[in-house]
Amino acid sequence: MLTVKNVITNEDVVAKTLKEKIEKHQAKIGVIGLGYVGLPLAVEKGKVGFPVLGFDINPARVDRVNAADNYIGDVKDEDLKAMIDKGLLQATTDFSRLAECDVVIICVPTPLTITRDPDISYIQASTEEIRKCLRPGQIITLESTTYPGTTEQVILPLLEKTGLKVGQDFFLAFSPERVDPGNKRFTTKNTSKVVGGMTPYCLEIAYGLYNQTISNVVPVSSPAAAELTKVFENTYRAVNIAMVNELMMLCDRMGIDIWEVVEAAGTKPFGIQTFYPGPGVGGHCIPIDPFYLTWKAREYDFHTRFIELAGEINVEVSYYVINKVMRALNSVNKSLKDSNIFVLGVAYKKDIDDMRESPALKIIELLRKQGANIVYHDPYIPVIEPHGGSTIHLESVPLTDAALADADTVLILTDHTDVDYERVVEKAKLVVDTRNATKNVLRNREKIAKI
C-alpha cells in the first residue's frame, strides 16, 4: 500500500494519482502488439471499463480490430464487437498516440535468430516508440517472454535517456504472459499472473493494474525474478517432453506401446505429471524459451547441460518420425522417394490455427528432401506460407476419400478433434500416427503405425 509520510514527495503524488486512475478504471491502457497475447488482454481490460488503445505495425490487423473482425481464437467474437461498439477499444498504427496512455503494455514477439540466440528487436523497437512519448505518470509493463535482466538492462536505460526517473516519474514492471491458445478452461482472466516491479511503487501500481482483471496476481521481488519464472515454466515442460520423447524412441525398439505406459503411469494420484510424446515441440514458448535461458547462462560462465540435452532430443524426434515413415513404407514394399504422403494436421497443437515453430514444418521439409510428394489437410490452417526459415508454400486440400486412398501413407502430425479418424484409417492404405489420434479406432488397426 502507498504509505503516509510526514513529507509528501512528488514521487508520492505521481504514484498515488496513477494508482487512483487505475482503481477507478479511468486510466487509458495502450497495448503494443495485437496478437495471441495482446488482443485477449486488450479485450479483458475493456470488459471492465478501461479505455484501451491497441498498437500494431500491421495495418491489416489494425483494420480488422477496428471492424470487430476477430482473428484470435481465444477472443469471443461478441466480446470484441461489444468493446468496439462501446468505444472502449480501438486500434492504430500511429505510435505517437502512446502519449495518450497512462498504461503501456508490451506484447510483442520474441523469436530466436537463425543461430538460436534471443531476438529482442521487437521489444527494443517498442521501447524506442514509448521513449519518444514518455511522460510523468505512466507505467510500462513488458509481457513478452525474454531472458532475465531484459527489463532492467534493456528497457530501463532506454526510458531513462529521457531524463525521467523510474519509480519517481514513471513506473516499470515485468509480468509474463501465460497464454495457452485453445485452452477453454484457463483464460487470460483466471490464469494466475506473476508481476515484478523495478521499485516498490512500480510493483504496487502494476499489481493494482493486473488485479483489476485477473483473479490471482502473484508479486515477486524483481522483474528478473518474474522473467526467470516464465522461462522456467516452459523449460520445465520442454525437459519433461524430451524425457517422454526419449522414452518413446526406446519403447519403439522394445516393442512396447509408449501411450499405454504414459497413460498407466498417469493414474498414480501423486508424484507424477503426465506429458505426452509427439513429433516434436512447437508453439511460441516451449521451443524458444529454454534457449533464452541457456544464452543468458553463458554470461555467468554456466553451461545448462540438462536443458540443452532436452533441446537436442526434441529436435531429434522429428528425424525419428521420418525414420518411422520410411519403415512403415518399407513394410508394404514402398520407398520414401516418390511416395505420396498425406499430412494430416500442421498446427503445433490440436484445434488451433497457430503453426508457430510447428514440428510439422520441419518434418515436411525433411520428407521433401527425401523425394516424397507432400499434400496436407488442416481445417485451421488453409495455407502454409514461407516464414521463420521455412520455405514451404502449400495449400490445404480437402479431406476426401479419394485423397486418402491415393496416398501411400497418411501421416498424422496434429490430432484435431473434428477429424473422423475411423474414416481416415478405413480409406487410407497406411497410417503413421504421431499423436495417438487413432486410439479409439477399432477396425483396420493393422494399417496403423504409431510412434
Q: Is residue 7 part of a domain?
A: no
Question: Is the domain of 88 the same as that of 158?
Answer: yes
- The 10s digit of each residue's pLDDT in 141-154 is 999 999 999 999 99
Q: Does residue 328 lie in a domain region?
A: yes
20 part of a folded domain: yes
Indicate if 126 and 53 belong to the same structural domain.
Answer: yes
Tell whether 366 and 253 lie within a shared domain: yes
Q: What is the pLDDT of residues 90-111, one digit of tens each?
A: 999 999 999 999 999 999 999 8
pLDDT grade for 291, boundaries at 50, 70 and 90: confident
Considering the domain boundaries, does residue 24 fall inside one? Answer: yes
Q: Indicate if 358 and 432 belong to the same structural domain.
A: yes
Domain assignment present for residue 32? The answer is yes
pLDDT of residue 269: 93
**Arithmetic mean of pLDDT, 335-354:** 95
Same domain (yes/no): 311, 437: yes
pLDDT, residue 288, reads: 85
pLDDT of residue 112: 84
Could you list the active site residues? 285
- The number of folded domains in the chain is 2
Q: Note whether residue 387 is domain-resident.
A: yes
Q: Are 114 and 167 in the same domain?
A: yes
Q: Above 50 in pLDDT, residue 175?
A: yes
Domain CATH number, residue 21: 3.40.50.720
Residue 26 banded pLDDT, cuts 50, 70, 90: very high
pLDDT at residue 233, as a whole number: 93
Which of 75-79, 168-172, 384-388, 436-440 has the lowest average pLDDT? 384-388
pLDDT at 8: 56
Q: pLDDT of 196-248, one tens digit each?
A: 999 999 999 999 999 998 889 999 999 999 999 999 999 999 999 999 999 99
268 lies in the same domain as 295: yes
159 and 246 part of one domain: no
Same domain, 177 and 274: no
Q: What is the per-residue pLDDT for 4?
A: 41
Interval 114-123: pLDDT, tens? 777 889 999 9
Residue 268's domain comprises: 237-450
Residues 244 and 209 in one domain: no
| pTM as predicted | 0.89
Do 208 and 293 belong to one domain? no
Cα-to-chain-centroid distance, residue 77: 21
Domain membership flag for residue 181: yes
Q: What percent of the chain stands above pLDDT 70?
A: 98
**Mean pLDDT of the region 183-207:** 91
309 located within any domain: yes
Q: Does one domain contain both 388 and 439?
A: yes
